[in-house]
Amino acid sequence: MTALSRTARRWLAMACCLVLPAQAAAVAASRPLQVTIVNDRLTLSVTHYPQVYLQGTIDAGAPQRFAALVRAGRITPGADIYLDAHGADRAAGMALGRLFRAGGMATHLGTPRQPRHASVAMKTATCTDACVYAYLGGLYRWTPSGRDRLALAAPPGDARDVAAYLAAMGIDAGALAPASPGDWTAERLLATGLANNGVLPATASYDLRAPAPTLELRQTDRKGVHRLTIRCAPGHTTVTAYDDVGMARARQVALRGGDAYFQLDGRKVLDQSRGGALAEGSALVIRRDYPPADLVDLVNTWSFGAWVDGRSAAFRDGFTLQLHPVHPQLKVFYYACWRAAPWPPRAKKSAPAA
């Protein structure tokens, strides 16, 4: 065999290595939906939920196969669903989405762990058409990262079944304008409510009756339920944050001590009220007297935080409430407080010395 033929054979072998991963990706994309479940001890110890990977074409039988795995206990409530799929069967996509929502599952884009030498195409997840409707069924929906992309070739149109499905999932149909893989950025998905990155919108309820109007804000995420209550009374306004972390954890953090404080848009408030948090049942509680004149800042802020310091900011305990969904209710409550217990104007801050 000549040197030239050996060189040619080496080039041919390299070409095969380049072509085969692309062919494998194409075959994977064209096959009926495949389900891979990762629920080893290490995965469950780190994420607390099994990881379920759905790859291929969402075919008519996909919802039945998925439901069978749920009934058999192989896919459990709260599972993380990773999608890398497509298909024109919109009904099958919505059926999968309903199964996800019924099980309180979370949806992501992603592929199973690939060998180090795998091509970029094999590591990249794309969720299109029927897959988008399945993705929207997740109770918690994470934005794509890296090269992963969502895309919808056609809007839902006037289809009643689609409209009913989106309404049941709490999705605005107007947000589903046709989008290429590059159009649905993380910012757009979050702004339109198509994704929530593991945090459900805050809700508000209140009792506006004098002499002490009260407000409760509630936000749920994968870590639990977080609450904030405000009670207005003549000369005494109290703000209380409740973080439902479980009885053992609440006691542990309360005994540890550490400064407990509130934040408005990331800025500490009530620095003069230093002290720890309390354990009340399964909740870690921070309770503070709040200057009534400063309520105007709270009702107009975008985020409210309640935190207990640990060894560093990376180890602190607490939560942040996103308040923009409940701004109208906050303003109604603010004026009810003013009517029940008017307060003097806030003192103006003195100008810094020249």
How many Cβ atoms are within 10 Å of 7's Cβ, its own excluded? 10
pLDDT at 352: 52
Residue closest to 203 by CA, chosen among 218, 223, 225, 215: 218
State which residues form the domain around 165.
13-191
pLDDT at 7: 45
**Does the residue 197 lie in any domain?**
no
The answer to whether the predicted template modeling score (pTM) of the entire model surpasses 0.85 is no
What is the rounded distance in angstroms from the CA atom of residue 171 to the CA atom of residue 180?
19
95 and 215 housed in the same domain: no
**Does the residue 346 lie in any domain?**
no
pLDDT at 178: 61
**Does the residue 133 lie in any domain?**
yes
164 and 80 housed in the same domain: yes
pLDDT of the chain, 354 residues: tens digit per residue: 444 455 444 434 433 333 333 444 444 446 789 999 998 888 888 878 899 999 999 999 999 999 999 999 999 999 999 999 999 999 999 999 999 999 999 999 999 887 777 777 778 899 999 999 999 999 999 999 989 999 887 767 668 899 999 999 999 988 887 656 567 888 889 988 999 999 999 999 999 988 899 999 999 998 889 999 999 988 789 999 999 999 999 999 999 888 899 999 999 987 655 668 999 999 999 999 998 989 999 999 999 999 998 877 678 899 999 998 899 999 999 999 999 988 888 776 655 555
Residue closest to 111 by CA, chosen among 80, 83, 75: 83
**Does the residue 352 lie in any domain?**
no
54 and 186 housed in the same domain: yes
Instruction: List CB contacts of 51: < 8 A, sequence separation 6 or more.
Output: 37, 38, 39, 43, 79, 80, 82
